[in-house]
Chain A
Amino acid sequence: MTERSTLAGGATLAITGSGGSGAVTAGLILLAAVGRAGYYGLLGRSAGPQIRGGESAAMLRFGPQPIECMGGRFDLLVGLDWENVARFADELPLDRTSLVLTDAQAGPIPEILVRSGAQVRSMPWKALADAQSEGRMNMVALGMVGAMLGLPLDALEAGARATLGDKGGRVLTSSLDCIRSGYSATDAAPVPPSALAPPVARWNISGNEAAGLGAVRGGVRFVAAYPITPASEVLEWLAPRLELLGGSLLQAEDELASINMIIGSSFGGVPSLTATSGPGLSLMVEGLGLAVASETPVVVVNVQRGGPSTGIPTKSEQSDLNIALHGLHGDAPHLVLAALGIRDCVYTVEWAVGLAEHLQTVAIVLSDQMLGQSRAIVDPPGDLPFGAVQHTPLQRLIGTDADPDHRRYRPTPDGVSPMALPGLPGGMYTAEGLEHGPGGAPSSRAIDHAEQLDKRLHKLTGFDYGHGWAEIRGEGDHLLLTWGSSAGPVFEAAERLRGSGTPTRAIALRLLAPLQRDALLEAIGAAGSILVVEQNQTAQCFAYLHSQRALPAHARSYARPGPLPLRPAEIMRALIGSHTREET
């Protein structure tokens, strides 16, 4: 078949169906299978607001290079049924070269898809499924698609075992039968077993799992949190695993409680973290100010979703930068970081924990629904590649008997004072949200206020953050500047521009506050055209960089809100202004 030659080097495909059709399960198996076949992959999912049921789509892109974003179009659309698919048809761009696979028994293809001009082919999935005991269409379709994509059957079977293993023997057995049935029903030649096995065992991980792993790698052993979409998976991953590490997770009554609980546990000496999304972060802001003022280290992983208010809980947006940077009242310096990809969630959260502990302050890490709820096949993240330069490892300065001066908030050259932990005789102090003198006693004197404000600011601005503040790729007179999860499409856009003769550099900011202005200006250099790319309406990062005098006057902004993901082609168009053909 022709699909083999066009798709086997990598492809972008979507599987859609109504609730219960198994579209997402099929996607999870396919991701696990392409990983075992030696590809990198990225699996996003789109779901409606229903608690259970409703429409859903799994979107998979795979290929021989690490996949950091969805492409601009889909090669293949696998329609298990067409119920409600129109609700997210705009997330599934098709064109004349796309192929739609469905079973004619699933009913007529929606007009919105037909208009794309994609080729449509009907497959006998239902008949094949009915021929199996407890056969399911999604598994038949999965087997057939796997064969068309050139995947070895054993990779599909291993993917199914890994994904369905805990559902019990009968479900797995019938699924495997259906996969084999679909696989052999194509006229594609079978692929030798594990023909493409990767040289090193790669990982299959979601951004929310990666954030949880980064937390425990950074030393977090206590988490208090309140459930919220799309952050709950961070907590669900952590709860049982913290216990294995000797720590614990407390489900709080609300986010006001969870932030204050982790301030309490951190005061007790245990590195602590919470995870939430926009509405929860809004509730936590007063507590964050307390952690800043009392110099108690805490980390908040904020998995952004569409806002404001309840917004779009199940869809992605980068619109919480303003609250993360500016939400606290008073002069309240703190750290703001953003994960640049699924794999980078491990690094960024691990680094954030180390920095918060070392600098005795608040770190807010911005992830988002796109990163958090997508899974990817990635190279195993090794040791943190960008620790601080002078301070390795990053850890809290704990007070000891040997300290000549136990005053908790006494000024020091780097602004960090030893923090006595409860249990240390002679170290007693009262942590304060009131302004205080060096010993912690409340004070409204101007001299104390100035001294403590300066201490809390300079310990952050005077620290050497090393090279982790940004990821920089490529050289060129054109510059794409971005932050957080938009790094994926920006890096791809820059690479494609370089490949087509437009030298383009890409800078993705991981550390947003304190802004490493000098390093950023040096990295920007004399770029002739500069575009700041982000997924929000009001160009929050662009405005912030200007406020910090970190952008040349000729820099432009490309900002648009979610929920549709930023795509490389629109970024290329926005940078160079010409028409660029959308390619995966």
Chain B
Amino acid sequence: MDTAIVTPTLRAKDYKSEVAPVWCPGCGHFAVLSAVTKALAHLKLPKERVAMISGIGCSSRLPAYVDAYGFHGIHGRALPLASGLKAARPDLTVIVAGGDGDGFSIGGNHFLHACRRNMDLTYIVMDNEVYGMTKGQASPTTQPDWAKSKLTPHGTGMRPFLPTAIALAAGASFIARGFAGDPNGLTKLLVEAIEHPGFAFLQVLSPCQTFRPEQKEWKHLVHPSDMAPTDDPVEAARFIQADDGMALGLFYVRRLPVWQPQHQPTATPADLEREFVL
């Protein structure tokens, strides 16, 4: 008789923690949480080998809702937190989650360098073009004429940050866009992102019912990408520049060297002390 210990197959709901989300009813982030748990179940990842890392914002609450290891850090610094963890613990599946303000404004510099460092991380940005947790201010992806915030009564007057274009320019090796209203497509992209060896950037259009109710229309505006995934950055750039921001799918994937230190010890601290001896 086979006595090997068989890990029972986990279902998506087994990856949900007992902590109740703080999100508003109808928030797109519920669908992202659901897609994360489905992807983890699909990949049969043991819970204790998964780390969910985030910064601050509505979407950054996600780690507490997943039954895995997690770190809810400070605003804008999810990517460094995750990069340090992955550098020290390459055996873990490290997934970073956050919003457009956290990732593209206060954390913008880390986004650039995480793309070019190409560590084996999955970065999910739940983009709703607004700061929700601070009650509705313009974010880097907000259109320049959106004037609903008292902070910017005339709109921002700035062209929006283009996450996929910047990810490509900064050297990300996996660039995709999903939609909270398309849970199956989102789960499939997440599975691909987690399996991708390198920095996988997944922008998720995730409507904010409270501060951007007009985003309910997104379900009519999104459409599948009309380009097959490419490994050619020039082709990807052409596509991304022409994109209306609503195309869904995997745009660009390329095998690039992954930054991951892995050194076997060959010395002890006592060995190092010899260099100082006269």
Q: Could you tell me which A residues sit within 8 Å of B by CB distance? A: 32, 35-36, 162, 198, 201-205, 209, 213, 216-217, 221-222, 224, 241-248, 250, 252-254, 256-270, 272, 286-287, 289-290, 294, 377, 380, 422-434, 440-442
Q: Which of chain A's residues has its CB closest to B90's CB?
A: A268
For A224, the chain B residues whose CB sits under 8 A away are 80, 84, 87
CB-based closest 3 A-B pairs? A264-B84, A261-B84, A246-B265
The proximity string for B residues 41-76 relative to A, scoring 1 for CB distances below 8 Å and 0 otherwise, is 000001111011100000001011001111111101
Q: Is the CB of A260 within 8 A of B89?
A: no
For A425, the chain B residues whose CB sits under 8 A away are 46-48
Q: B241 contacts the other chain (Cβ, under 8 Å)?
A: no
Give Cα A262 to B89, complex, Å: 12
Which residue from A202, A250, A427, A433 sits with its C-beta under 8 Å from B83? A250
Q: B88 contacts the other chain (Cβ, under 8 Å)?
A: yes
Given contacts A247-B263, A258-B80, contact A263 B70 (CB under 8 A): no
The proximity string for B residues 75-105 relative to A, scoring 1 for CB distances below 8 Å and 0 otherwise, is 0110111111111110110000000000000
Given contacts A428-B68, A430-B52, contact A248 B84 (CB under 8 A): no
Of B149-157, B199-207, B247-255, B267-275, which binds chain A? B267-275
Q: B242 contacts the other chain (Cβ, under 8 Å)?
A: no
Could you list 13 further interchain pairs (A-B, Cβ under 8 angstroms) beyond the known A265-B87, A441-B64? A36-B278, A244-B263, A252-B113, A261-B84, A264-B81, A266-B84, A266-B88, A268-B84, A270-B88, A287-B74, A422-B51, A422-B85, A428-B67
Given contacts A203-B278, A256-B77, A423-B92, contact A245 B87 (CB under 8 A): no
Q: B264 contacts the other chain (Cβ, under 8 Å)?
A: yes
For A209, the chain B residues whose CB sits under 8 A away are 276
Q: Is the CB of B72 within 8 A of A222?
A: no
Q: B277 contacts the other chain (Cβ, under 8 Å)?
A: yes
Q: Which of chain B's residues has its CB closest to A202's CB?
A: B278
Q: B109 contacts the other chain (Cβ, under 8 Å)?
A: yes
Which residue from A246, A266, A267 sits with its C-beta under 8 Å from B263? A246
Q: Is the CB of A245 within 8 A of B74?
A: no
Give Cα A201 to B84, complex, Å: 39
Give Cα A279 to B67, complex, Å: 39
Q: Is the CB of A262 within 8 A of B84?
A: yes
Which residue from B68, B70, B261, B271 sits with its C-beta under 8 Å from A250? B261
Give Cα A222 to B85, complex, Å: 10
Q: Which of chain B's residues has its CB closest to A243's CB?
A: B263
Q: Is the CB of B70 within 8 A of A261?
A: no
Q: Is the CB of A263 within 8 A of B269?
A: no
Q: Is the CB of B83 within 8 A of A216?
A: no
Q: Which of chain B's residues has its CB closest to A381's CB?
A: B273
Q: B266 contacts the other chain (Cβ, under 8 Å)?
A: yes
Could you name 11 residue pairs across A and B whose Cβ atoms are closer than 8 Å? A36-B278, A222-B84, A246-B266, A253-B109, A261-B81, A265-B85, A272-B84, A294-B71, A422-B92, A429-B69, A431-B72
CB distance from A531 to the nearest CB of B (A): 35
Q: B1 contacts the other chain (Cβ, under 8 Å)?
A: no
For B4, the chain A residues whose CB sits under 8 A away are none
CB distance from A88 to the nearest CB of B (A): 29
Q: Which of B53, B73, B84, B86 has the most chain A CB atoms inside 10 A of its CB? A: B84
Q: Is the CB of B91 within 8 A of A260?
A: no
Which residue from A244, A262, A272, A433 sits with its C-beta under 8 Å from B265? A244
Q: Which of B74, B85, B278 has the most chain A CB atoms inside 10 A of its CB? A: B278
Q: Which of A162, A201, A433 has the most chain B CB atoms inside 10 A of its CB? A: A433
Give Cα A244 to B82, complex, Å: 24
Given contacts A244-B272, A247-B263, A377-B278, contact A430 B87 (CB under 8 A): no
Q: Is the CB of A254 within 8 A of B109?
A: yes
CB distance from B110 to the nearest CB of A (A): 6
Q: Is the CB of B87 within 8 A of A222?
A: yes
Which residue from B48, B53, B85 sits with its C-beta under 8 Å from A424? B48
Give Cα A54 to B46, complex, Å: 60
CB distance from B273 to the nearest CB of A (A): 7
For A423, the chain B residues whose CB sits under 8 A away are 48-49, 89, 91-92
Q: Is the CB of A245 within 8 A of B265?
A: yes
Q: Which of chain B's residues has its CB closest to A247's CB?
A: B263
Q: Which of chain B's residues has its CB closest to A220's CB?
A: B269
Q: Is the CB of B267 within 8 A of A430?
A: no
Q: B19 contacts the other chain (Cβ, under 8 Å)?
A: yes
